[in-house]
């Protein structure tokens, strides 16, 4: 027989009402009480009765994510961690998280429309935001709650979790500027991604603050893969290239490609070329792995709980500022920076 709210109440010494409000993350319940209720629910293997919830509230207790077509899908390691983390976070709040994959060439707005018209989902997690994202406009027009992993601009009118990507781009560039570099290349992600544009803006601002005019030839865009890092490095460092003395990698996969290409060219880090990288701290993509790389670091995993809490807050009508969260990043020094040779 499955555990009930009464069982959790008996184990914690709370009332059934307190347990219900704690598991549903209400603002008037303390963080300590919420944690007690969640720990007890986990220990008892509690599973919410979604049918009863729907009858009582008019909501299904189910939220979803529409995975973009393959050319916009996050890389495998990120995707697996994202699905696992979000599923666990929503489960802790007594919600069911489901995934729908858009087919190649399929309009993702049409997928959201179909799911909304089916009446089975209370809200959506959105990933990989674009400028003036049509998914946001559509969901807001239908009055459907959403939360975005990322954001378009500094003050969007929807719930989100993000880090300050402009500050990330600026910090990475400043690390190299302080070592004396002025020709700093940046191998970045897809140009249509909001966080990519913000990191480029941070690169440009840091350079201008140091009296250096950004050279567009030193900036490369593309899918954030190891092959992008290698091919872009070969272009930049080749006979016809812009020949930077230092490189910024948008993620660890790009950084691995950079190291591979530099080795092919007979160039050493940091003696010949300095390298910094932003690390999402995904398994198998360690900033401090061989070769160690300086840069910025922010665990993607720290976004799952705020995303779940923000979407539940939006569903329950909480004020917008309480559903918008900005995470932190840290600076890591690992010996991949030296003055330009």
Instruction: Check pLDDT > 90 for residue 166.
Output: yes
**Region of 328 on the Ramachandran plot (φ > 0 left; ψ -120 to 50 alpha; else beta):** beta
Which DSSP letter does residue 193 get? B
Q: Is the pLDDT of residue 76 over 70?
A: no
Question: Which pLDDT score, from 0 to 100, does residue 123 have?
Answer: 96
pLDDT at 43: 82
Q: pTM, whole model, 2 decimals?
A: 0.81
Q: 118-154, pLDDT tens digit by residue?
A: 877 999 999 989 899 999 999 999 999 999 999 998 8
| For the chain, percent of residues with pLDDT exceeding 70 | 91
The whole-angstrom distance between residue 159's C-alpha and the CA centroid of its chain comes to: 14
> What mean pLDDT comes out for the span 189-202?
95
Least confident of 13-17, 51-55, 283-287: 51-55
Strands annotated E in 159-282: 160-163, 184-187, 219-220, 246-249, 274-279
Q: What are phi and psi of 279, to 5 degrees?
A: -115, 125
pLDDT at residue 142, rounded to an integer: 94
Residue 303: predicted pLDDT? 96
Q: Which residue has the tokens 């729908």?
A: 100
Domain 165-299, CATH number (from 1.20.200.10, 3.30.9.10, 3.40.630.10, 3.40.50.2300)? 3.40.50.2300
Give the pLDDT confidence score for residue 133 in this predicted structure: 94
**Domain ranges in the chain?**
5-163+301-327, 165-299
Superfamily for 5-163+301-327? Response regulator (3.40.50.2300)
165-299 matches 5-163+301-327 in CATH topology? yes
Is the model more confident about 85 or about 8?
85
Over 90: is that where the pLDDT of 53 sits? no
Distance from C-alpha of 104 to C-alpha of 10, rounded to nearest angstrom: 50
């Amino acid at each position: 027989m499955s555990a009930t709210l009464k069982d959790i109440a008996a184990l914690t010494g709370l009332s059934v009402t307190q347990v219900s409000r704690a598991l549903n993350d209400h603002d008037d319940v303390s963080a300590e009480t919420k944690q007690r209720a969640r720990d007890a629910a986990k220990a008892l293997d509690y599973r919410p009765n979604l049918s009863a919830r729907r009858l009582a509230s008019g909501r299904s207790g189910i939220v979803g994510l529409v995975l973009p077509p393959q050319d916009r899908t996050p890389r495998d390691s990120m995707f697996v961690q994202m699905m696992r983390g979000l599923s666990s976070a929503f489960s802790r709040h007594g919600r069911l998280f489901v995934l729908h994959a858009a087919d190649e060439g399929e309009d993702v707005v049409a997928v959201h429309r179909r799911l909304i018209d089916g009446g089975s989902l209370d809200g959506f997690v959105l990933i990989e935001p674009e400028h003036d994202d049509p998914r946001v406009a559509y969901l807001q027009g239908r009055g459907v709650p959403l939360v975005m992993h990322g954001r378009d601009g500094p003050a969007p009118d929807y719930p989100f979790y993000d880090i300050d990507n402009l500050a990330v781009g600026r910090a990475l560039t400043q690390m190299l500027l302080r070592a004396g570099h002025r020709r700093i290349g940046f191998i970045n992600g897809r140009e249509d991604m909001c966080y990519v544009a913000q990191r480029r803006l941070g690169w440009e601002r840091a350079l201008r603050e140091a009296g250096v005019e950004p050279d567009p030839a030193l900036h490369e865009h593309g899918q954030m893969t190891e092959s992008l890092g290698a091919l872009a490095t070969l272009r930049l460092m080749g006979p016809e290239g812009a020949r930077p003395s230092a490189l910024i990698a948008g993620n660890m996969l790009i950084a691995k490609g950079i190291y591979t290409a530099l080795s092919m060219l007979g160039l050493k880090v940091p003696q010949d070329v300095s390298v910094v990288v932003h690390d999402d701290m995904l398994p198998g993509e360690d900033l401090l792995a061989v070769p160690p790389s300086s840069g910025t670091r922010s665990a993607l995993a720290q976004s799952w709980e705020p995303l779940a809490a923000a979407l539940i807050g939006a569903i329950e009508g909480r004020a917008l500022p309480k559903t918008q969260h900005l995470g932190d990043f840290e600076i890591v020094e690992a010996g991949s920076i030296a003055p330009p040779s």
